[in-house]
């Protein structure tokens, strides 16, 4: 069959040929761009995977050690848990009661940072009525940034210590939706004696009603906190803090920032703080331990379960880490290649989305090319030898990447969730594609002087029955 230009709404056969040529050219260029990007990213991920596998083989695939291997010291460190809260009246009461009932540590207090224009959250905190809970109402209406909220609690802590004639040893960061592990403070107490900061793993809870969206966080954190951060800690450079489940010694915070150790102009103050500690030569520990029952000691929480809220959160991370964060933190020392490598991995998200968009464009162009060539009766041009080899290598790297993601998710959540990691990868890609455009708009706004604000999402605190089944 021969397709004329009139059939396609074009004038003349030359127009048809030009359309077919244009589609084929777009296909080739998109394949080349996406292929090169996937190759670089695939080799990058493969290097981390091989380093992790080597470490596991050397350790004979040892599981995380038990908490009873940690030494006990007396007296215990005095610890303060900081919980920033803006419009968290739905969850803050349950979170505080859960933490107070779980934590096994002799000397701690929970500081909750609220705002004068958020009476519902203030009332929910006051209803807990426990001497270990300290409500701090900031000096300005909310929302500020999360860092600004933390600075208000830091000021209150220093005033409390001065009035009581004592010194708090370290503070721990948590969010209002977090489930604090009963043994978390035991880990911090032991490791903060030899490290300036400690990060325990984060385990997202999967919402059974929204497994695809909430579950993609489980897949990502399973890889990050079961493999990637382990390698990063072994490399010995700038371990970024996750903002929850992390503890920092107070004297180091005072040295870094005095009255305002958390930068109120940052959207990801936790990430930047971890890099600052590494650049200052301080030791940060990534602590994976199991309790006596064999369960991983970690911070557990529900993450966004809807596309719109997940996009908002991912956009904030992209701005804070990959865009504005790049401007703010720059690079490390000239020859610190390990740190350069890790920072580049942190900042590759927007570039990865460009590569992903090119891949989807190639997929559309390929389908269109098949249709057009079938209609005009000409064969689809074959891929060149170099592009064909590139595609084969990338296919192998993709298969490896999927296998690693399934293995990481299965190891923490079981094989059923591991199998769901494959369709969830498509969901994660879709969320990233939407998030990058939102992140770019927000970043450009900051360059024009738009004030940075806390763009939080709605939270849910898990029921006890859900926690009993959680990994």
DSSP conformation letters of 240-307? ---SSSEEEEHHHHHHHHTT--S-TT-S-HHHHHHHHHHHTT--EEE---B-TTS-B--EEEEPP-SH
Residue 375 lies in a domain: no
Burial 299-309 (b: 16+ CB within 10 A, else e): bbbbbbbeeeb
Mean pLDDT of the chain: 89
In a domain, 221, yes or no: yes
Q: Is 232 contained in some domain?
A: yes
The number of folded domains in the chain is 1
Whether 434 is covered by a domain: the verdict is no
Angle at 100 (CA atoms; ends 94, 105), nearest 5 degrees: 155
Is 339 within a domain?
A: no
Residue 72 lies in domain? 67-308
Counting Cα atoms < 13 Å in the Cβ hemisphere of 163 gives 6
Asked, for residue 142, whether it belongs to a domain, the answer is yes
Which residue would you say has higher pLDDT here, 100 or 344?
Answer: 100
3-state SS, residue 418: helix
> Which tens digits make up the pLDDT trace of 145-169?
899 999 999 999 999 999 999 999 9
Span of 99-108, 118-127, 177-186, 278-287 with lowest mean pLDDT? 278-287
Q: Tens of pLDDT along 279-328?
A: 788 878 999 999 999 999 999 999 999 999 999 999 988 988 888 777 77
pTM value > 0.85: yes
Residue 395 domain flag: no
Q: Give the pLDDT band (50/70/90) at residue 4.
A: very low
pLDDT of residue 59: 73
Q: Do the beta carbons of residue 79 and residue 171 sit within 8 Å?
A: yes
Q: How many residues does the chain have?
A: 471
**Helix/strand number for the chain, H first, E second:** 16, 9
Q: How far is it, in rounded angstroms, from Cα 198 to Cα 200?
A: 7
Residue 174: which CATH number? 3.90.550.10
Least confident span in 27-41, 78-92, 227-241: 227-241
Q: Is 47 within a domain? A: no
Flag whether pLDDT at 440 surpasses 80: yes
């Amino acid at each position: 069959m021969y397709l004329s230009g009139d059939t396609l709404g074009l004038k003349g056969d030359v127009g048809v040929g030009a359309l077919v040529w244009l589609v084929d050219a777009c296909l080739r260029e998109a394949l080349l761009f996406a292929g090169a990007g996937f190759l670089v990213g695939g080799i990058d991920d493969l290097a981390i995977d091989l380093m992790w596998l080597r470490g596991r083989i050397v350790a004979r695939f040892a599981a995380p050690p038990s908490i009873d291997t940690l030494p006990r010291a007396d007296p215990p460190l005095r610890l303060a848990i900081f919980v920033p809260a803006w419009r968290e009246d739905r969850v803050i009461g349950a979170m505080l009661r859960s933490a107070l009932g779980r934590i096994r540590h002799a000397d701690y207090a929970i500081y909750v940072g609220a705002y004068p224009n958020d009476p519902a959250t203030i009332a929910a905190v006051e209803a807990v009525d426990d001497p270990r809970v300290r409500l701090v109402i900031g000096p300005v209406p909310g929302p500020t940034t999360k860092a600004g909220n933390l600075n208000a609690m830091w000021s209150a802590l220093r005033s409390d210590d001065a009035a009581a004639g004592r010194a708090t040893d370290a503070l721990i960061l948590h969010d209002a939706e977090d489930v604090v592990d009963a043994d978390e403070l035991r880990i911090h107490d032991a490791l903060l004696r030899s490290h300036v900061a400690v990060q325990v793993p984060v385990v997202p809870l999967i919402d059974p009603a929204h497994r695809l969206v909430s579950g993609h966080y489980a897949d990502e954190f399973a890889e990050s906190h079961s493999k990637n951060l382990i390698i990063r800690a072994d490399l010995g450079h700038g371990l970024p803090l996750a903002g929850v489940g992390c503890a920092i010694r107070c004297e180091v915070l005072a040295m870094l920032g005095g009255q305002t150790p958390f930068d109120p102009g940052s959207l990801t103050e936790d990430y930047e703080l971890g890099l600052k500690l590494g650049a200052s030569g301080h030791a940060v520990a990534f602590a994976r331990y199991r309790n006596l029952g064999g369960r991983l000691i970690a911070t557990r929480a529900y993450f966004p379960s809807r596309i719109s809220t997940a996009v908002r959160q991912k956009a904030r991370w992209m701005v804070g880490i990959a865009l504005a964060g790049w401007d703010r933190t720059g690079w490390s020392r000239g020859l610190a290649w390990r740190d350069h490598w890790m920072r580049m991995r942190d900042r590759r998200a927007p570039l990865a989305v460009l590569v992903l968009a090119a891949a989807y464009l190639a997929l559309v162009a390929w389908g269109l090319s098949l249709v057009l060539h079938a209609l005009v009766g000409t064969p689809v041009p074959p891929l060149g030898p170099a592009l064909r080899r590139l595609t084969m290598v990338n296919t192998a790297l993709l298969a490896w990447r999927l296998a690693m993601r399934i293995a990481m998710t299965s190891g923490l959540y079981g094989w059923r969730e591991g199998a769901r990691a494959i369709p969830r990868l498509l969901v994660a890609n879709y969320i990233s594609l939407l998030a990058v455009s939102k992140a770019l708009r927000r970043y450009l706004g900051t360059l024009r002087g738009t004030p940075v604000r806390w763009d939080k999402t709605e939270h849910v605190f898990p029921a006890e029955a859900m926690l009993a089944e959680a990994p």
